[in-house]
Structure 1
Amino acid sequence: MSVHEQAAAAVLSQLFLAADGALLGLGLAYVAVRSILKFTANSSALRKIEQAPSIHVSDLRSVLTLPSANANNANEQSNCEKLVIVRGTVEAKSAVDGHCRSGVLASQESGDKGVILQRSQTCIRNEWRGFFGWTSNLRSLFVSSWKEQESSTVRMVPFILVDGGRLPQSAYVIVNMEGSRHPLPLTTVYRHLQPVNASPYTFLQALFGHEYPVGLLDEEKLLPLGKEITAVGICSLKDGTLVMKSCEDLPFFLSDMTKDQMLVDLDFKNKVLFCSGIVLGSLAVGILGYVVVRNWNRWKEWRQRRQAQQQSPSPNNDVNYQGPVDDEIGDVPDGELCVICLMRRRRSAFVPCGHLVCCQSCASSVKRGLSPKCPVCRQAIRDLMRIYD
């Protein structure tokens, strides 16, 4: 670690430990609350996925059919929605319209076909600390020096899920991607890293410790035809057609994992979030409690000193006070002068350090301060002792 990083780390540690660690306690409390909120949301999602039936595409109509006698009404059937888990194979919707494998997306580089195509270009940047000081980017203290700036475009066509690659007219469900922000189980079909030629401007950026580009990463990902995935969402009947849409309360929509794998993943995350919330919350409560008690005791001590000062005025405020004759008059050697006023003889020793460096008046003034400390060793002062010779 360089000298600049050590100085920055020292400043950050002083900042977090300011006010006896109050800022650190508040930060831990914020993280603990976030962990508990995420644990609550994950627990709700875990219960919903655990209770959701895992069925085949061909059995969806029987699950969504209303059991009541009035289920023949088309409006009631169209309003029937249920959270289900379906494992099926990806197929283009155009296949059920009689256009065999038309209306699909194809990768320009690999030629693979799919229903969702994502093209991204990532500018990979490096950061060097240079000769003229450390980097101006404070994030380099916490994250890697490699920075990425990505721009991507996503295209998709309507697609369906079918059972085991079979495509009968009555056994498919349309996947509705509108409003879904869930991660997609895409497959990388093309990746190419192109180095960036250095220029004089790049040399200046590196010399002064700024970010500079080192390469461009081009990628193409798609959801290929024939891939087996799991859909977790709300299934409904619309005009006699099965439609699956995402549920915002769940962390999954389309995934490579099965239902059992999803439950194991959510259960592990819940345990981590719960333990981290409890541990960080306990630390935050302990730190904040220590801060409150310590500052309360300081305030009481300050209040007691103020009351004592008001009840018994100091010799400096007493107009009739006359100090010892040998303190005010006569020649006092330089080695025996008070280090504060440089006028009177040293008469008071500080307890517990024992330094005899102040006269009676200046020592009393120091002791009446909010946080009295010895002017020599900076140790806290508990009392004064008058020295006679």
Structure 2
Amino acid sequence: MSVHDQAAAAVLSQLLLAADGAVLGIGLAYVSIRSILKFTASTSALRKIDNAPSVQPSDLRSLLSNRDNNSDICNSESKNQSNGDGGKLIIVRGCVEAKLAVERQAMILGGNTSNVLVSQESGEKGVILQRTQTCIYNEWRGFFGLTADLRSMFARSWKDQETSTIRTVPFVLVEAGRRPQSGYVIVNMEGSRHPLPMTTVYHHLQPISASPYTFLQALFGHEYPVGLLDEEKMLPIGKDITAVGICSLRNGSPEIKSCKDLPYFLSDLTKDQIMADLAFKTKVLLWSGVVFGSLAIGILGYAIVRNWNRWKEWRQRRQAQQQNNSATNDVPPQIASDEETGEVPDGELCVICLMRRRRSAFIPCGHLVCCQRCALSVEREISPKCPVCRQTIRNSVRIYDS
């Protein structure tokens, strides 16, 4: 770890521990609340997926038709598992196929494979193709790289290091091992931001040749490109996937679209695997919320108690100071004039002010070490103690010379 990173870590630790850890406690409380909210959403999603029927594409048409015919029976269910368009939450397991290939019966004829995406590098066919190009930069600081740390913190967000393009064609899910006429469901990708079960079909790292300008960049500590990473990911034709979403009839054909309340839409996992994965995440979120919440309560409680005690101590000191000031102002003039007159030997000076003669003895210890004014100030303290033996005193008595 560099010196700058150590300084940043020290500043961050000081900030988190400010006010006896109150900032850290608030941060942990925020994490706990987020975990509990995610746990609630995951629990609701798990319940919906558990109640959703798992069917084949060939059974969708009859299932949706029966639902429309028996709308009174399904009225209570549709309130829990339907969207505004009257769709129903369904889990479909099928095989990816281009929509145009099904409509033109290309699978039967075995010839027409139009309207599919073909990888330029691997030659594989699919319905979703994502190309990503990432520029890899050098991390060396150079001989004059005094500001390299600041550039590494801010300049990276300004610079486009990755470019990505994605193309899709309409596709459907058909029942594996059957002819397309046996049934299919159209996959509607509109509005979906869920992760896709993409397969990497091409991965190549190409080094970038150095130039004289690159040498100058390295000399002064500037980042310079050293490699270019090209990747292609594809949702290939013939891949078995599971679709979890709202299914409805559109123009006589079943169509499924994503549900925003669910973390899955298209996945490699089956229904049982999805439920097991979601149940594990739910347990992790629950225990994370409990652990972080307990830590936050403990740290915030400690910070509140510490700051409350500090405030009470400050208030007591302030009251004692005010009482001392008032006691000093209330000293009779004759006492002050009696103590101030004449020269006082060093052995008879008050041990507190070192200005006036010792006149008052403390009870019960009996030490004669203070003038009457300082003795009154000591008596008015919260826990008065003798300045010599530190024994608790009850009061003081004025001593007169014979």
Does the pair score TM above 0.5? yes
1:146-295 correspondence to structure 2 within 5 Å: 149-199=161-211, 201-203=213-215, 205-206=217-218, 211-295=223-307
Letter in 2 for 1:15: L
Letter in 2 for 1:10: A
Size of the alignment, in residue pairs?
344
Q: Does residue 90 in structure 1 map to residue 96 in structure 2?
A: yes
Give structure 1 stretches of 5+ with no counterpart: 72-77, 141-146, 348-359, 369-381
User: Deviations along 1:8-34, whole A, 9 cap, x unmatched?
Assistant: 322221111111111111111111111
Letter in 1 for 2:172: I
Aligned to 1:44: 44
User: Which range moved further: 277-286 or 189-198?
Assistant: 189-198
User: Deviations along 1:267-321, whole A, 9 cap, x unmatched?
Assistant: 1111111111100011101111111111112212222222233334267767858
User: Which range moved further: 129-138 or 301-310?
Assistant: 129-138
More helix by proportion, 1 or 2?
Answer: 2
C-alpha contact (below 8 Å) 1:64/1:80 kept by paired residues: no
1:306-321 correspondence to structure 2 within 5 Å: 306-313=318-325, 320=333
C-alpha contact (below 8 Å) 1:136/1:210 kept by paired residues: no
User: Which range moved further: 117-126 or 224-233?
Assistant: 117-126
Return the alpha-carbon distance in structure 1 between the equivalents of residues 70 and 294 of structure 2.
56
- 1:160 partner SS: strand
C-alpha contact (below 8 Å) 2:56/2:93 kept by paired residues: yes
Aligned to 2:60: 60
Aligned to 1:23: 23
C-alpha contact (below 8 Å) 2:61/2:253 kept by paired residues: no
Letter in 2 for 1:38: K
Change (3 A) 1:17 1:260: same
Change (3 A) 1:85 1:9: same
Letter in 2 for 1:59: D
Q: Does residue 101 in structure 1 map to residue 101 in structure 2?
A: no
C-alpha contact (below 8 Å) 2:134/2:163 kept by paired residues: yes
1:134 is displaced (CA, Å) by: 7.8
1:5 is displaced (CA, Å) by: 3.2
Return the alpha-carbon distance in structure 2 between the equivalents of residues 241 and 292 of structure 1.
63
C-alpha contact (below 8 Å) 1:39/1:273 kept by paired residues: yes
Change (3 A) 1:29 1:158: same
Return the alpha-carbon distance in structure 1 between the equivalents of residues 222 and 211 of structure 2.
14
Q: Which has the larger radius of gyration?
A: 2
Return the alpha-carbon distance in structure 2 between the equivalents of residues 283 and 86 of structure 1.
43
C-alpha contact (below 8 Å) 2:175/2:182 kept by paired residues: no
- 1:257 partner SS: coil
Letter in 2 for 1:164: A
Aligned to 1:357: none
C-alpha contact (below 8 Å) 1:4/1:134 kept by paired residues: no
Return the alpha-carbon distance in structure 2 between the equivalents of residues 164 and 290 of structure 1.
61
Aligned to 2:109: none
Give structure 2 stretches of 5+ with no counterpart: 72-83, 107-111, 154-158, 359-372, 390-402
C-alpha contact (below 8 Å) 2:4/2:149 kept by paired residues: no
TM-score (norm 1): 0.76
Letter in 2 for 1:162: V
Change (3 A) 1:139 1:272: farther
Return the alpha-carbon distance in structure 2 between the equivalents of residues 255 and 125 of structure 1.
34
Return the alpha-carbon distance in structure 2 between the equivalents of residues 329 and 103 of structure 1.
113
| Equivalent in 119, 136, 156 of residue 149 of structure 2 | 136
Return the alpha-carbon distance in structure 1 between the equivalents of residues 50 and 27 of structure 2.
34
Return the alpha-carbon distance in structure 2 between the equivalents of residues 282 and 331 of structure 1.
65
Letter in 2 for 1:24: L
Return the alpha-carbon distance in structure 2 between the equivalents of residues 34 and 166 of structure 1.
46
1:51 is displaced (CA, Å) by: 1.0
- 1:221 partner SS: strand
Q: RMSD in angstroms over aligned alpha carbons? A: 3.9
Change (3 A) 1:216 1:158: same
